Amino acid sequence: MQAQTKYAALPGVIILALAATPLAGQHEEHGAMPGQTADAMEHDMWSIDLGAGWRLLGMAQAFPIVTFGAPGQAEGSALRETAFYLTQPATMFNVESPGSRLSLRTTLNFEGLTLEDGELTFGGWGEGFIDKRHPHTLLHELMLSVNLWNVAGGEASISGGKGFAPYGTDDPMARPGLKYPTNHHLSQLLERWTLNGVFLRSGWSVEAGLFGGTEPEGPYDLSNIESFGDSWSARVGRRWGAGHGPAAAWEASASYASVTEEHHDQEVTTQLWNMALRHASAYDFGDLYTLAEFSRGQGEHDLDYFSALGEAQLLLGRHQPYLRVEHATRPEYPRDGAPGSAGFFRYDHDEEAIGATRWTILNVGYNYLATRGTVSIRPFVDTQFHAVSRERGPATLEPAALFDADSFWSMSLGARIFLGGDPMRMGSYGILDAMTSMNRMMGDGGGMQPN
């Protein structure tokens, strides 16, 4: 049995300190977002009045879990692994000026301490990890936004710093499933140094970003600022139904990105496409969230990958069942070790892919809202069924050679712990930042604009 315990308690201590210290001794209720009723929002986002109209908003989270990898497989299988993790430990906070004309978003992610060797995630890949999810960077977001709430009949923002390029869908950290989907590196461009602009009018939004395409090489790597300006992206969105901006009940989007990275001193450009339809709203039977998306990545040497994903969550009082289905291809690389070794889950990020595998993953989970208020504890069970086949490449990529099976399942048990708020949408800034929108709903912005 594997246990990742090195420094594991440190982020928990930091996060619990946030809960124990009520920022200036106050917190405020905020309005329910679509898909979250007022009853579900009893645990409030931390808020402190800094004076002169400035406000600090924030929340934190950490998920202690145990993952059982393919428990039905034979002894010695690369899949049969059990590990304890403290996953997704993070603090998220915004500093908002009067009227939210200026906003500074900061997210600190402590996975470099708690997930030093990655998190078992079959089908996952990226940044040197495969079938494990890599730890995200300590400085996950640091984005400064200048917001104009009445310009040309709409709203506009310019945002700059380290964070998400305007492409694809929300960060999976803010979505129902525990394990990140296979399409994480096809559907989000995160932890880049980026300059983003957005204009929103009559439900339509247009975003564009100029950023550095190089991925960080580890949780403490900030050097990818050196590649700033070699990549770009754009996203067009349409929102309708109840709600405004990121709180709209319906949202459709289409994105494109040209991402340039350097491997062995050679530049490689990948083109990415994403189309998505999102819905979140309250109904008589409960609060419903759904997302459907299609992503495609096409690189040099005719390398082509895709993902089709659908997910949903229903909130019924304290019960939160959720479902995700994904059909996707992913690149395969020469692994650093044989099955059964730690190197089996690692590869050299600079190496070229040697082929691809095709995955169908069914994810079924259930959260229970055990406590509400300042600290919300949600015990959960999360199961995944995987079916995999060789898409292209050598015979060594056959599932029987890689995994000793072409279908298997895994299970995770644990608790989601949220301090000072529900999970908020992540991946957009300025007028489309969920925290900024919440701040204006709380009254600082002098009312919402009908765009």
Strands of 110-230, DSSP E: 119-126, 129-133, 139-151, 154-163, 192-201, 204-211
Strands of 70-137, DSSP E: 81-96, 102-109, 119-126, 129-133
Name the more confident of 355 and 299: 355
Which helix (H) or strand (E) covers residue 399, if one does? helix 399-402
Q: What is the pLDDT of residue 266?
A: 82
Confidence check: pLDDT of 449 > 50: no
CA distance 431 to 428: 8
CA distance 14 to 301: 46
Q: What is the pLDDT of residue 70?
A: 82
- The structural domains of the chain, ordered by start, are 2-441 (2.40.160.10)
Cα of 351 vs its chain's centroid, Å: 25
Over range 102-114, report the average pLDDT. Answer: 97
383: amino acid identity, one letter: T
CA distance 264 to 176: 37
Confidence check: pLDDT of 105 > 60: yes
CA distance 140 to 107: 5
Confidence check: pLDDT of 8 > 60: no
